[in-house]
Amino acid sequence: MTADCAPPRRSAAGPPPAPPDRPAAVRGPVHLVGTGLMGASVGLGLGGRGIEVTLEDPSPSAQAVAVQIGAGRPRQTGDRPPALVVVAVPPDVTAPVVAAQLHRFDQAVVTDLASVKAIVLDELAQAGADLARYVGSHPMAGREKSGPAAATADLFTSRPWVIAAAPATRPQAVLRVRELASDLGAHPAYLDPAAHDRAVALVSHVPQVLASLTAKRLTEAEPGALDLAGQGLRDMTRIAASDPRLWSAILAGNGPAVAAVLRGLREDLDRAIAALDLGAEPANLGRALVELADLIAAGNRGAEAIPGKHGGARRRFDKVTVMVPDKPGELGRLFQEMGRLGVNLEDLSLEHGARQLVGLAEISVPPGAGPGLAEDLERQGWRILR
């Protein structure tokens, strides 16, 4: 495993996000440059906390939509200089936009939300920008939809928000961005830019590549094949609906780190292909099964390493699979029944086959609660798959 493939060191977590009823720490005005999904969501979240937000976007239509949904108002001549500038533009143009804002507002802290950090910092350093007031950051949140119409005020709630400051950054500037993250409900975390880029290559950028490549194969499916698709395929390809232009810029900006992970995956794919070819000969079937089982078991260990919703090691939950009629209100009725029974829902997976009149809700509940919940739901008329 190369250094770029190595798992990142665990980052130090910042303070917990601010409760909605706590006064905002950010002091406006805040100026947003870029009113797509991320920028408009920042505007909605800050506006909901009573913070003055001004907007700027080279696309008049995107800015108009952001204004219409309440993400802020256009900046006007005579407005007070912003205390904080948030740049939310594609990574391939982030550095020049940040440099321009640092020059334009010579007292403001400027942060960006780009999903690559090292290349932005390098370009700013080469341009001679004031790095003391620049704080690279990256909220680990998003949707497969893009644009201000997809923005939500709670997009960042309970999500990590990486702060990747430069050595020259002033501590007070870092504090301003930490307050921004906390006010928006995120969990601040700290990584240096290179470590951030290695981490997101592994947990975000490569999954996007694999989702897109898997979905690409579906365009060649034989007639009727996709009618057999289950929830696993839908889960894996959900993010394949992402914006191609944005993701091409992200992947190019983090090319070395992404390529390093993909090379490791290529080695594993070569092992899997070799095992499948080996298994075509009956005499070698046993060896092929051992090799394939080893690859799948390694995947099990990797999946178990993903933290659970409460952080730390992922807990093992009981799972109950309930057949839910495909009618309005049925899923809500199931949740209400669980609440009445006093069982906490830890996770939920929904599966609905093509042209089926029922869906399957796989409910994860605390260990030991599964058998009793299944019996109680059956008494209330729900069908349980065992």
- Structure-token pair, residue 199: 């981490």
Residue 366's pLDDT is 86
What fold, for 199-305?
6-phosphogluconate dehydrogenase C-terminal fold (1.10.3660)
In this predicted model, what pLDDT tens digit does every residue of 180-233 receive, in sequence order?
999 999 999 999 999 999 999 999 999 999 999 999 999 999 989 998 888 888
Alpha carbon 235 to its chain's center: 14
The angle at the Cα of 321, spanning 341 to 315, to the nearest 5 degrees, equals 75
> What residues does each domain of the chain span?
3-195, 199-305, 318-385
Q: Per CATH, the architecture of 318-385 is what? A: 2-Layer Sandwich (3.30)
The larger pLDDT score, comparing residue 309 to residue 383, is at 383
What are the distances in angstroms from CA 135 to CA 27, 86, 117, 161, 307? 17, 10, 10, 12, 27
Alpha-carbon distance of 378 to 182, in angstroms, equals 43
Residue type, 197: D
Residue 182's pLDDT is 95
The larger pLDDT score, comparing residue 143 to residue 352, is at 143
In this predicted model, what pLDDT tens digit does every residue of 302-330 receive, in sequence order?
988 887 655 555 567 888 898 888 888 88
Tell me the mean pLDDT in the region 145-172. Answer: 93
Query: Is the distance from CB of 267 to CB of 274 less than 8 angstroms?
Result: no
Query: Is the distance from CB of 129 to CB of 99 less than 8 angstroms?
Result: yes
* Residue 331 in this model has a pLDDT that exceeds 70: yes
Q: Which CATH class is domain 3-195?
A: alpha beta
Share of the chain above pLDDT 90, in %: 64
- Structure-token pair, residue 226: 């996709």
Instruction: Please return the burial class of 162, using the count of CB atoms within 10 Å of its CB with bins 0-12, 13-18 and 19+.
Output: buried
Range with lowest mean pLDDT among 71-80, 142-151, 303-312 = 303-312
Per-residue pLDDT band at 28 (split at 50, 70, 90) = confident
Residue 9's pLDDT is 36
Residue 131's pLDDT is 97
The angle at the Cα of 302, spanning 300 to 306, to the nearest 5 degrees, equals 115
Which residues are CB-neighbours of 230 under 8 A, at least 6 positions away?
351, 353
